[in-house]
Structure 1
């Protein structure tokens, strides 16, 4: 039943204005709709991101959202030019080289938005 439904991500922000600027300046995303509750972005096909303001932002230590990209190095280079910093990890089960972790699923790289949400790029194997 759910295999044909579109999903979207919901991300918290402690400062919605700052987050809106970050998504515009770093990811080149413009709001599709702005409401009292937050900001909605469209990100390819029918994917959506809803960013809303809350004091709980930045408390999650897990990946909140991931983009599937065709060229992880190229995408990382573009984001680095805009000031995005990629995380390096070195612990059992996850080690990055030049910001990229490789496993049987593909290659992934993580960064944080202005609100402390962990976002990811993945080039699927």
Structure 2
């Protein structure tokens, strides 16, 4: 039976990634292993960042966070230097970095390693 979700993200430069997640998101790893950082966040959520030369090649969302106040979270992250992506593709157009759907609004940014991270709020 599947129980917990564990996301794994690539990084070309592990120290640079660690600095980004600390400085921009206020997160520090709970475990550091050779070539790997492990973060435990929320209730049972875990994500790992590992060093590899394949980092930055994905063009899709690789990790998502849920928030109760998307605009406030975006403002906090923008103050820390995070830049949100703008999209204008069939079926989705962002306004000030936010795409809205019937029951959800979302925004995307990239970390220093090129990974797409999504923030979403149920509406």
Q: TM-score range by the shorter chain?
A: over 0.9
Of residues 28, 31, 44, the one that matches 1:30 is 28
After superposing the two structures, state which structure 1 stretch, 29-38 or 66-75, moved more.
29-38
Of residues 52, 57, 62, the one that matches 1:64 is 62
Of residues 88, 91, 114, the one that matches 1:90 is 88
Matches within 5 A, 1:1-125: 1-2=1-2, 5-125=3-123
- How far, CA to CA, are the matches of 1:74 and 1:46 in structure 2? 24
4+ residue stretches of structure 1 with deviation over 2 A? none
Helix, strand or coil at the partner of 2:108: strand
Helix, strand or coil at the partner of 1:74: helix
1:13 deviates by 0.1
- How far, CA to CA, are the matches of 2:111 and 2:105 in structure 1? 20
- Return 5+ residue gaps in structure 1 as ranges: none
- How far, CA to CA, are the matches of 1:64 and 1:7 in structure 2? 13
- Give TM-score, length-normalised by structure 1: 0.95
Helix, strand or coil at the partner of 2:20: helix
- How far, CA to CA, are the matches of 2:26 and 2:72 in structure 1? 15
RMSD over aligned Cα atoms:
0.8
- How many aligned positions are there? 123
